[in-house]
Structures are given as C-alpha cells and as structure tokens.
Amino acid sequence: MFTRLKQIFVIWLIKKVQKYGPHKVHVSGKTYKVSENVFNPKYYYTSEFMARHIKVTPGDTVLDMGTGSGIQAITAGRTAARVVAVDINPEAVRLAGKNVRDNGVENIVSVIEGDLFSSLSPQHKFSVILFTPPYLEGTPRSFFDNSLFDPQKELVRRFFREAKEYLDPDGYVQMIYSSIAGPEQVISIAGQFGWKHSIIAREKTFTEEFIIYKLTLN
Ligand SMILES: C[S@@+](CC[C@H](N)C(=O)[O-])C[C@H]1O[C@@H](n2cnc3c(N)ncnc32)[C@H](O)[C@@H]1O
C-alpha cells in the first residue's frame, strides 16, 4: 500500500517536471535537449546516477536500450569504440540524434527506433548493454508513458529473454532499478533466463533507493 502511494507520487512528480521543467538541461557538463514527451535526464535521478557508473573501455561496443535523451549513449560514446542507441519513442530518437550531434559523438553513436531488439540483427553482438527500463505499474497511453510503465514487468521479461542473443559471451548488462518496484522480482525473472547478478552501486533518495545491477551469462 505504502509502495503504491510512493509510485503514485513519483508518477505525479515526473509528469509535472515533464510538462513544466526546462527543455534544455545540463547534466555532468553536457547539454541535452528534451521535450514534454522525452524523459528528462536532469530532474529524475536515475539518468545521472546510471551515467556516473558507466565504466566502458575503448574496445567496447555498447548498446543503450531505451535511450530517451541519449544521456547513457553519449556518456558511453566518449570512450567506447561504437554505441548503438535504441528507443521506441520516435521523438526520443529524433532528440537523442540531435543531442549526439550537439555533443560531438556522431561518429561513434547511432540512434535507431525500435521495440527492444526488433531493429537489430543478432549477428551484431555488444560487450556492454545499458538498460534503464520503465518500472512503475500502469498502462502506457502515450509514447512518454513508455518511459514510466512496465505492466507486469513484461518489458524486462522480454529484455532478459532476448538480450542473450545480442551479448558477447564475456559481456554484461548494466541495469538500474528501484526499490519501489520490486527489484527482487526482476532479478528472479533474469535468473529464470540464466542471468547472474551483482550490485554495482545503490543509493537512497527522498522517494526510493536506486540499485544498479551487473548481469552476466557466465
Ligand atoms: C526511464 S526512461 C530512460 C531514458 C534514458 N535512458 C535515461 O537514462 O534518461 C526509459 C526509456 O525506454 C524507452 N522504452 C520503453 N519501452 C521500450 C521498448 N519496448 N523498446 C525501446 N525503448 C523503450 C522509453 O521510451 C524511454 O525513453
């Protein structure tokens, strides 16, 4: 009951920020343009916290699943050899493409529209897959709602089933999740598909605790 109230408060807060927050924001020295329909990386802490814990190397090929403004892809693109960023929201794809160019990483990062892995070929493997999924309970009714809601954790279930085909044997998934959305259930779903997990970082905020997981198949 208390968790559901927290979820309702978080949904209210994010929607207010999306509507009335500034649409050009600065995070860790980079500038990102967003719109009312694209997840704002400044005012919701997951984006910055996840970006701070990206530790890619110059040899890495990275997939940023659910790129939104492109913040994770652009952060990885400062070091990695190649980054592919995917989003289901066409407006996110357009603005992430602009942010990639404005931040000077267009030779490294490409942004494509797709529903999870549907636009990719399993011939292309990645050494790191970054995943910042929606995690609240609710029914998506707009493109923006895809940033918030994952009813019955269907998206994460599909992700862990399909991601196996796109990961290098020694690669890993870096995923952020929230204490108000049943992270133990998500880890159990991942485990059903053979994923092993460890914790990279965790941090408590005013509304919830965020946990960044590393998931591997070996
Ligand atoms: C919580 S937001 C995170 C955005 C960004 N990565 C960040 O850290 O600020 C989740 C993103 O996943 C995208 N998304 C949701 N469902 C998706 C799907 N089936 N395929 C691809 N992207 C999806 C949403 O459109 C949204 O941009």
Token digits of residue 74: 């652009």
Residue 41 in contact with ligand 1 by CB distance below 6 A: yes
The number of domains in the chain is 1
Ordered DSSP codes for 119-148: TS-TTS-EEEEEE----BSS---STGGGGT
Q: What are phi and psi of 42, to 5 degrees?
A: -90, -40
Residue 116 in contact with ligand 1 by CB distance below 6 A: yes
pLDDT in tens, the chain (218 residues): 578 888 888 888 888 888 887 789 999 999 999 999 999 999 888 999 999 999 999 999 999 999 999 999 999 999 999 999 999 999 999 999 999 999 999 999 999 999 999 999 999 899 999 999 999 989 999 999 999 999 999 999 999 999 999 999 999 999 999 999 999 999 999 999 999 999 999 999 988 899 999 999 98
Indicate the burial class of 126 (C-beta count within 10 angstroms; 0-12, 13-18, 19 or more): buried
What is the CA 81 to chain-centroid distance, rounded? Answer: 20
Shortest-distance atom of ligand 1 to CA 40 = 9
Strands in 167-178's sheet, in edge-to-edge order, are 109-113, 82-87, 61-65, 126-131, 167-178, 209-216, 196-204
- pLDDT for the residue 5: 85
pTM of the predicted model as reported, rounded to 2 decimal places: 0.96
- Strands 167-178 and 209-216 come out as antiparallel
Find the domain containing 163 and state its range. 2-216
Q: Residue 176, SS3?
A: strand
Instruction: Report how far ligand 1's centroid is from the alpha carbon of 69 (Å).
Output: 9
CATH (domain of 167):
3.40.50.150
